[in-house]
Each structure stands twice: as structure tokens, then as C-alpha cells.
């Protein structure tokens, strides 16, 4: 299933909102210039658009940018949002921002060497005094009952399919997703099966896969862009200090110098 096709169901598939308040609070006022890359189908974009009049969203997939613009239009904020198609590894918008957001697990779609390029490209778009937030999952074993991200279970046996959920779509059909999880030292591979059952009884099915690379604290501390200072690494959205068993690894940087690409 290509990334372009996933745009049609992305807002149904990923309904996470745990990061919304944390990121929104980094926007100091409605005149703040904010960049979100990548934006996906606009899950976070809607919240950001309600906090600023200057939001730029970027994704490598045109269908995702279109979907995100539809989402901000749905809350009446489209005049405050500019959408771009672009690769986060080579991003060069020609302007800079008070806040740059690389949201949940987005960087982990890239191997660490490409992630370094993407982080440097994002950093080049931060204004002096501005901030960049990078939000990663640790994929660590935990004892709490809340899974974050919700599609990953550290106790799950590799090679066993399970039903994740069934959710209604706007046309009245029901979408069901199953997943198969493989844990490795380099990262987590997830295979997905989808079944869309229409009221008529017709069934459409397809598959997709996703690989998320593991990043650790040493990668964060060893790849700080030259114009940024690492302010903190948080272990969750409550701003608790990062420890090895934390579910998240949220790096907050501040721009200390005025450099150009």
C-alpha cells in the first residue's frame, strides 16, 4: 500500500493526541512562525493552526499535504497555513521559524544517518532564539498499562498477528486493521493488514509495512546541529527527565547562532 493511498485513511488510523498540549505550549503567541515537518494528514497541524497565524506544513507526499490542508480548513484556519511538498532530508524553504516541530516517530522512519541529515535541515530553519522539538519513541520494555506508541507492544511475541481495531469510515464502511510485529536491534518492523467492509457486504483488503529505527540518547547528544543547543531531553509529555525506561525521548533545542544554509 503506497504512502499516497494511506492519506485517505491516515486520520482514522492515527488518532494520537498525547503530544498536542506539550507542543502547543511551545508556541509563545499567535505571531510565532511555526514549521511542522512532516505533517502527515494534519493530526497535529489542526492544533498548531489554532495557536498561530503563521503555520507552514511539509510532507513528502502531496496527498498528505492535501489531506492536512483539508483538516485545517475544517476548523476554519486555512488562511493561516501554508502547505509544501518536500523531503525533510533536503528541506530548504528559504525562511526560518520560531518553532520547528518534528513530530512523533517521524524521524524514525529514517535510518540514523539519514536522520542526521533531516535534523540538520530542520535546524537550519530555526530563527536565533527559536526552538526545535524532536519527538521519538524509545520502544522500551515498560511495566505500565499505557502503550506509547499504541501500535507497539514490548511484550508481544514476534510473528503473531493480532487485531488492532475496527473503526467506522465516513462512508459508513468499517475499517479493520491487523498487525504483525518484529522487534530487532536496529528497529521495529510492523506489517499491517487492512479490511474495509462496506454496508453492501463488499470487502476490500490490502497490506502495508512500516519500519521504525531505534534512536538512543547517545545519538541525540552526538548529533547536535551546530547552530543549536540541547536544552533538555524529556522522557514524556509531562516534561519528566529522560531515563532509560521512559516511553518517549523528546529533545528540545534552542537556536544559539545565526547561520544560513
Query: In the numeric block, which cell numbers belong to residue 133?
Result: 522539538
Q: Are residues 48 and 92 in the same domain?
A: yes
Q: Are residues 14 and 119 in the same domain?
A: yes
Q: What is the pTM of this model?
A: 0.93
Model confidence pLDDT, tens digit, residues 157-203: 777 899 999 999 988 999 999 999 999 999 999 999 999 999 898 99
When divided into structural domains, the chain yields a total of 2
- 132-160 mean pLDDT: 83
Residue 27 forms part of a structural domain:
yes
Q: Are residues 167 and 44 in the same domain?
A: no
Q: What is the pLDDT of residue 259?
A: 56
Q: Are residues 99 and 180 in the same domain?
A: no
Query: In the numeric block, which cell numbers belong to residue 245?
Result: 525506561
Q: Which secondary structure element, helix H or strand E, spans residue 45, and what is its range?
A: helix 45-49
Q: What is the pLDDT of residue 261?
A: 41
The label of the residue with cell 535510518 reads 111
Q: What is the pLDDT of residue 84?
A: 97
Calculate the alpha carbon distances from 256 to 221, 240, 259 in Å: 16, 24, 9
Pairing outcome for strands 228-234 and 203-213: unpaired
Q: Tell me, what CATH number does 133's domain have?
A: 3.40.50.150
Residue 15 forms part of a structural domain:
yes
- Examine the pLDDT at 8 and tell me if it is beyond 90: no
Model confidence pLDDT, tens digit, residues 125-141: 999 999 999 999 999 86
Query: In the numeric block, which cell numbers belong to residue 113?
Result: 544517518
Q: Is 202 exposed, middle or buried (0-12, 13-18, 19+ CB in 10 A)?
A: exposed
Model confidence pLDDT, tens digit, residues 70-115: 999 999 999 999 999 999 999 999 999 999 999 999 999 999 999 9
- Examine the pLDDT at 260 and tell me if it is beyond 70: no
Residue 191 forms part of a structural domain:
yes
Q: Are residues 72 and 121 in the same domain?
A: yes
Q: Are residues 79 and 124 in the same domain?
A: yes
Q: How many residues does the chain have?
A: 261
> Rounded distance, CA 38 to CA 59, Å?
5
Query: Partners of 48 in the beta sheet?
Result: none
Residue 113 forms part of a structural domain:
yes
Q: Tell me, what CATH number does 194's domain have?
A: 2.20.25.110
Mean pLDDT for all residues in the chain: 93
| Beta strands per DSSP E along the chain | 33-36, 54-59, 81-85, 97-102, 126-137, 162-168, 174-183, 187-197, 203-213, 228-234, 248-255
Among the ranges given (138-152, 156-170, 203-217), the one the predictor scored with the smallest mean pLDDT: 138-152
Which residue did the predictor score with more confidence, 154 or 1?
154
Q: Are residues 206 and 248 in the same domain?
A: no
Q: Are residues 189 and 235 in the same domain?
A: no
- 216-220 mean pLDDT: 97
Q: Which range of residues forms the domain containing residue 177?
A: 162-213
> Rounded distance, CA 3 to CA 1, Å?
7
Q: Are residues 31 and 85 in the same domain?
A: yes
Residue 92 forms part of a structural domain:
yes
Q: Are residues 73 and 116 in the same domain?
A: yes
Q: Which secondary structure element, helix H or strand E, spans residue 47, and what is its range?
A: helix 45-49
Residue 149 forms part of a structural domain:
no
- 230-255 mean pLDDT: 96
For 165, residues 6+ apart whose C-beta sits below 8 A from its C-beta are 176, 177
Q: Are residues 96 and 219 in the same domain?
A: yes
- Report the percentage of the chain scoring pLDDT > 70: 95
Q: Are residues 207 and 251 in the same domain?
A: no
The label of the residue with cell 518492523 reads 189
- 146-177 CB burial, b ≥16 within 10 A, e <16: eebbebbeeeeeeeeeeebeeeeeeeebebbb
Amino acid at each position: 500500500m503506497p504512502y499516497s493511498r494511506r492519506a485517505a485513511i491516515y486520520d482514522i488510523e492515527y488518532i494520537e493526541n498525547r503530544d498536542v498540549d506539550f507542543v502547543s505550549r511551545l508556541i509563545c503567541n499567535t505571531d510565532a512562525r511555526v514549521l511542522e515537518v512532516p505533517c502527515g494528514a494534519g493530526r497535529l497541524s489542526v492544533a498548531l493552526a489554532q495557536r498561530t497565524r503563521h503555520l507552514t506544513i511539509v510532507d513528502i507526499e502531496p496527498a498528505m499535504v492535501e489531506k492536512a490542508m483539508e483538516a485545517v480548513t475544517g476548523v476554519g484556519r486555512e488562511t493561516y497555513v501554508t502547505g509544501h511538498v518536500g523531503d525533510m532530508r533536503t528541506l530548504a524553504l528559504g525562511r526560518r521559524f520560531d518553532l520547528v516541530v518534528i513530530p512523533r516517530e517521524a524521524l524514525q522512519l529514517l535510518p540514523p544517518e539519514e536522520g542526521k541529515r533531516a535534523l540538520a535541515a530542520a535546524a537550519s530553519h530555526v530563527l536565533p532564539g527559536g526552538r526545535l522539538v524532536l519527538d521519538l519513541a524509545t520502544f522500551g520494555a515498560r511495566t505500565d498499562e499505557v502503550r506509547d506508541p499504541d501500535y507497539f507492544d514490548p511484550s508481544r511475541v514476534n510473528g503473531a498477528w493480532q487485531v488492532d481495531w475496527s473503526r467506522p469510515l465516513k462512508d459508513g464502511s468499517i475499517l479493520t486493521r491487523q498487525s504483525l510485529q518484529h522487534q530487532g536491534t536496529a528497529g521495529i518492523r510492523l506489517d499491517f493488514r487492512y479490511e474495509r467492509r462496506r454496508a453492501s457486504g463488499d470487502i476490500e483488503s490490502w497490506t502495508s509495512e512500516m519500519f521504525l529505527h531505534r534512536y538512543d540518547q547517545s545519538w541525540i547528544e552526538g548529533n547536535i546541529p551546530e547552530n543549536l543547543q540541547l536544552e533538555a531531553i524529556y522522557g514524556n509529555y509531562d516534561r519528566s527527565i529522560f531515563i532509560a525506561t521512559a516511553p518517549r525521548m523528546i529533545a528540545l533545542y534552542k537556536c544559539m547562532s545565526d547561520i544560513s544554509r
